[in-house]
């Protein structure tokens, strides 16, 4: 039994924040549930997209670092973010994405699940995976995507590694995941249930990946509370991975560390959640800062570009 209950969120690096907002809310139909800033770089937005209530496991988040070069795929980097959609909905999504000029091919099977691959406007590799695995989900009534086709949350993450074994041992012996399946050289680790898959392909001769616009920054694993987080942190420390102390992100509490292959991981608690400081009916409409950054609000707002919510049909 592991304290980890799935993936809490995935954070990626974007380019222009308005283009990012328009794509994820207007094209993919996800809700902006928190408009905040990178707490370690407050001159940069941190944008959180999720289901209507921002359930843990549903959110894909972004740092729009427009000054960075495009990312370079390679080992030690998460290379794709699969998102869950309801069974039977990929026909709808193929037509919708094509309507907005997104290049899509034919859906392909992966681990017995029908999958559609594409990229966002800044090059992040995404896929939509049909699955009816039960999960917490609140439909967004204002989404331009009908409820029956809405994205349910994070399905998993995919990474390249130069050596599979060190990361495999860490995932199973330290984080408590299991090897669930193998297919086409990919090894799937996770737990039973939705939103927990971490797929690895061993690529011994590939170059090291490099963060940049269009790359995943980190994968956050979900734990119930700080007690569970501390237990996992202790195992990570004993494995020599040098985790940070618990960092209060206000909406959840975080611990960061790198797994043996170089992918940045986070532990994130389920609570207190995105509605702790904002009316649930108005999530994402205003810039929200954690209390310790409120004294800097004027300076922060002066350097952030304006954002306009838009939901094309």
pLDDT at 313 over 80: no
pLDDT at 312 over 60: no
Q: Residue 136, class by beta-carbon neighbours within 10 Å (0-12 exposed, 13-18 middle, 19+ buried)?
A: middle
Could you count the other beta carbons within 10 Å of the beta carbon of residue 275? 16
Q: How confident is the model at residue 132 (pLDDT cuts 50, 70, 90)?
A: confident
Domains annotated for the chain, with CATH where assigned, are 7-303 (3.10.180.10)
DSSP notation for 74-121 = -BTEEEEEEEEE-TT-HHHHHHHHHHTT------EEETTEEEEEEE-T
The enclosing H or E element of 20 equals helix 17-21
Write down the pLDDT at residue 194: 81
Taking residues 172-192, report their average pLDDT: 96
Q: Residue 128, class by beta-carbon neighbours within 10 Å (0-12 exposed, 13-18 middle, 19+ buried)?
A: buried
Write down the pLDDT at residue 192: 81
pLDDT at 293 over 90: yes
Taking residues 266-282, report their average pLDDT: 96
pLDDT at 202 over 80: yes
Write down the pLDDT at residue 65: 97
Nearest to 24 by CA among 92, 120, 131, 98: 120
> What is the percent of the chain where pLDDT is above 70?
99
Taking residues 287-306, report their average pLDDT: 97
Write down the pLDDT at residue 193: 79
Write down the pLDDT at residue 2: 85
pLDDT at 206 over 90: yes
Taking residues 201-228, report their average pLDDT: 97
Instruction: Give the global pTM.
Output: 0.97
Taking residues 68-78, report their average pLDDT: 96
Nearest to 199 by CA among 79, 47, 28: 79
Write down the pLDDT at residue 1: 62
pLDDT at 310 over 90: no
> What is the percent of the chain where pLDDT is above 90?
96
Average pLDDT, the chain: 96
Strands of the chain (E only): list them: 7-14, 31-38, 41-50, 59-64, 77-85, 108-110, 113-119, 125-130, 153-154, 156-161, 178-183, 186-190, 197-202, 216-223, 247-248, 253-258, 264-269
Token pair belonging to 136: 């917490």
- Alpha-carbon span 194 to 202, nearest angstrom: 24
Taking residues 151-159, report their average pLDDT: 98
Taking residues 217-227, report their average pLDDT: 98
């Amino acid at each position: 039994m592991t304290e980890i209950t799935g993936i809490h969120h995935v954070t990626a690096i974007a380019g222009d924040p308005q283009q990012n907002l328009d794509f994820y809310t207007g094209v993919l139909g996800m809700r902006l549930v928190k408009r905040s800033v990178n707490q370690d770089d407050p001159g940069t937005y941190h944008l959180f997209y999720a289901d209507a209530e921002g359930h843990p496991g549903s959110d894909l988040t972004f740092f729009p670092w427009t000054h960075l070069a495009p990312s370079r795929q390679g080992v030690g980097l998460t290379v794709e973010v699969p998102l869950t959609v309801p069974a039977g909905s990929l026909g709808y999504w193929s037509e919708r994405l094509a309507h907005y000029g997104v290049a899509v091919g034919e859906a392909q099977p992966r681990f017995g699940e029908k999958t559609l691959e594409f990229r966002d406007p800044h090059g992040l590799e995404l896929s939509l995976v049909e699955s009816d695995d039960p999960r917490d989900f609140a439909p967004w009534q204002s989404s331009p995507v009908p409820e029956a086709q809405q994205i349910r949350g994070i399905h998993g993450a995919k990474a390249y590694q130069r050596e599979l074994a060190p990361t495999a041992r860490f995932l199973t012996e330290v984080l408590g995941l299991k090897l669930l399946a193998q297919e086409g050289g990919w090894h799937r680790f996770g737990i039973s249930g939705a939103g927990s898959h971490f797929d690895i392909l061993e690529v011994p001769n590939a170059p090291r990946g490099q963060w940049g616009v269009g790359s995943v920054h980190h994968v956050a694993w979900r734990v119930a509370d700080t007690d569970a987080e501390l237990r996992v942190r202790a195992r990570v420390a004993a494995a020599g991975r040098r985790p940070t102390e618990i960092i209060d992100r206000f909406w959840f509490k975080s611990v960061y560390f790198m797994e043996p292959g170089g992918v940045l991981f986070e532990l994130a608690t389920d609570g207190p959640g995105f509605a702790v400081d904002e009316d649930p009916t108005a999530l994402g409409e205003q810039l929200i800062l954690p209390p310790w950054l409120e004294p800097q609000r004027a300076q922060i707002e002066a350097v952030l570009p304006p954002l306009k919510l838009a939901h094309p049909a």
